[in-house]
Amino acid sequence: MRCVSVDHYENFPVASWLCPKELRPCVVAIYNFARTADDLADEGDAAPAQRLADLSAFRADLTAIENHASASSRWQAVFEPLSAVIAQWQLPVSLLHDLLSAFEQDVVKTRYHDRAELLDYCSRSANPVGRLLLHLYGVRDSASLRQSDAICSALQLINFWQDLSIDTSRERLYVPQLDIEAHGASPQELLDRQDSPVARALIADVTAWARTLMLQGSPLVHRVAGRAGWELRLVVQGGLRIVDKIERMNHATLNVRPHIGTLDAPLLLWRAAGMRRTRPPLTGKIA
């Protein structure tokens, strides 16, 4: 799962000094839940059936604490603090179940037909994280939730196009089949990491889609106050910076993975500081 990845979840504001101090235990508890489930779905060499069984047991423990019962001892370090956070902050547990649904899907599904199908995956793999954080920040209006979904889906998509060389080596292909066909490419060419003008045009198209989504959601940074708002500005700019790097390398991510380093920090801070409030209407569904 790629959502807000740190290796898996690199955009998750766990250790950042910008994350409000009083929220750090909550964010860490959510992170540990997502990271552990992600590892069950992706790490090691367990068979798919075993991964699904482990995720089912993990979900059973989530259901137990949701119902004020005790979880098993297997993941006590995850569910004990999470139970306290759920009780204290009234977290919408359905969002945690949505995350597990995406992890389970990653075990059995490696291809996507169209953009709508991929966005449905993002709605469970990425968007719940943004909604959980907004819940902690006390931002719960519908416009903010839509913008959060756009940002989180964009981050997920950017991570896909950034990680093409990694995912294709694992026989995973997140580029939608209809986009592949529209550009005259084939799934096997991508899985074989055959760099070509056609492949680069395809990657340019889906990368532009991700940028558009990010810009749709970016006004949210003005709805989140204080340090959390600055955290969000840097998350948005970090995603856009990866897009810049993909474009600068002429969309050759089938063989090279762009990344953000310490030398990017001054530019990210400058761009974050320069984000201006605008009032474009955000209507309809993200697409």
Chain segment 222-268, per-residue pLDDT in tens = 999 888 899 899 999 999 999 999 999 999 999 999 999 999 999 99
Q: Pick from 33, 28, 93: which is nearest to 63 by CA?
A: 93
What pLDDT was estimated at residue 16?
A: 59
Chain segment 30-57, per-residue pLDDT in tens = 999 999 999 999 989 999 999 999 999 9
Q: Is the pLDDT of residue 14 over 70?
A: no
What pLDDT was estimated at residue 22?
A: 87
What pLDDT was estimated at residue 17?
A: 61
Q: Where on the phi/psi map is residue 98: left (φ > 0), alpha (ψ -120 to 50), or beta? A: alpha
Chain segment 103-161, per-residue pLDDT in tens = 999 999 999 999 999 999 999 999 999 999 999 999 999 999 999 999 999 999 999 99
Q: Pick from 114, 157, 175: which is nearest to 185 by CA?
A: 175
Question: What average pLDDT does the chain have?
Answer: 91
Instruction: Measure the CA–CA gap between 119 and 123, rounded to whole angstroms.
Output: 6
Q: What is the pTM of this model?
A: 0.91
Which runs of E-coded beta strand occur in the chain?
none
Q: Is the pLDDT of residue 26 over 90?
A: yes
Eight-class DSSP state of 208: H
Instruction: Measure the CA–CA gap between 57 and 62, rounded to whole angstroms.
Output: 9
How many percent of the chain have pLDDT more than 90? 84
Mean pLDDT lowest for which of 16-25, 102-111, 176-185?
A: 16-25
Instruction: Assign a CATH topology to domain 21-273.
Output: Farnesyl Diphosphate Synthase (1.10.600)
The domain locations on the chain are 21-273
